[in-house]
Copies of this chain bind each other. A is one copy, B any other.
Amino acid sequence: MMFPTEMKQRPPSADTPAKAATEAATQVPPHVLAVDDDPELRNLLREFLPKHDLRTTTVATGAEMLRVLEQEPVDILLIDLRLPHEDGLALARKVRDTSAIPIIILTGKTDEADRVMGLELAADDYVTKPFSPRELVARVRALLRRTQPDAGGSSTAAPRAYRFAGWELNLRRRRLTNPSGDAVELTNSEFNLLSAFLAAPQRVLTRDQLLERSRLHSLEVYDRAIDVTILRLRRKIEPDYTDPQLIVTERGAGYVFTQPVSVLR
């Protein structure tokens, strides 16, 4: 077991999804903002939620919450009903007044929750403490699903596939086919790495960026680990992997995917 996120205090700016959203067309994980005065709970959340592909920021007070909301997009809010010097419900209402961010209230007792849910429109769901992390994740997911019907607009839809130099990478099926139409097996990280490249063609990507996109977890890995994955990927897609044409090394900077890429939706 690992206990990584404990000390990992990232400034809000580090979490900013704007960058990721524009650069990678890969599905950006939803951003969860949790407000609770209990540090232990915050730690738990930061440890657990990301494992389930939920980007997580935690704060202790309503003021901090508002600050974060201003700075970056948030997809769902978790708010403790009883915060030391403020009322979670009031916070929720305040948010509701100005946005449609879905809100889950964390509460101690069921009857308390009853009251909250009854006539209040401030919250969309509640979870009673103590809750199992699984349950929380499930509820967050469920609520996101309900509230993000994901506009049918084809412009915002996630890409279905990429094409480059006769190859095709099918994102739904997670499958790569070569110009002759044969399937080429990719491991998970190879697939992720390749889609990171295809989402940002003709652009130099640093190792860090690539790592972040190709490894789902483990934030602390040697940069060099990416080299090996690049190598393996090259062996699978380069005509001559000793003389790479598609994925070219930018010495001192990172790597570039050189070919034009077309996006299928």
Chain B residues near A208 (CB-CB < 8 A): 52-53, 137, 141
- For window 136-168 of A, CB contacts with B under 8 Å fall at 137-139, 141-142, 145-147
Chain B residues near A114 (CB-CB < 8 A): 130
Each complex incorporates copies of this chain amounting to: 2
Contact, CB under 8 Å: A130 / B113? yes
Contact, CB under 8 Å: A256 / B142? no
Given the known inter-chain contacts A174-B253, A217-B138, please indicate yes or no for A130 contacting B145, CB distance below 8 A.
no
Contact, CB under 8 Å: B174 / A134? no
Chain B residues near A131 (CB-CB < 8 A): 117
Given the known inter-chain contacts A172-B204, A173-B256, A202-B172, please indicate yes or no for A124 contacting B134, CB distance below 8 A.
yes
Q: List 28 A-B contacts (CB under 8 A).
A: A113-B130, A117-B130, A121-B132, A123-B132, A125-B132, A125-B135, A132-B220, A134-B219, A134-B222, A135-B146, A138-B146, A138-B211, A138-B212, A138-B218, A138-B221, A139-B219, A141-B212, A142-B212, A142-B217, A142-B219, A173-B202, A174-B253, A174-B256, A187-B252, A188-B250, A188-B252, A188-B253, A189-B252
Which of B130, B212, B222, B256 sits near A118, CB closer than 8 Å? B130
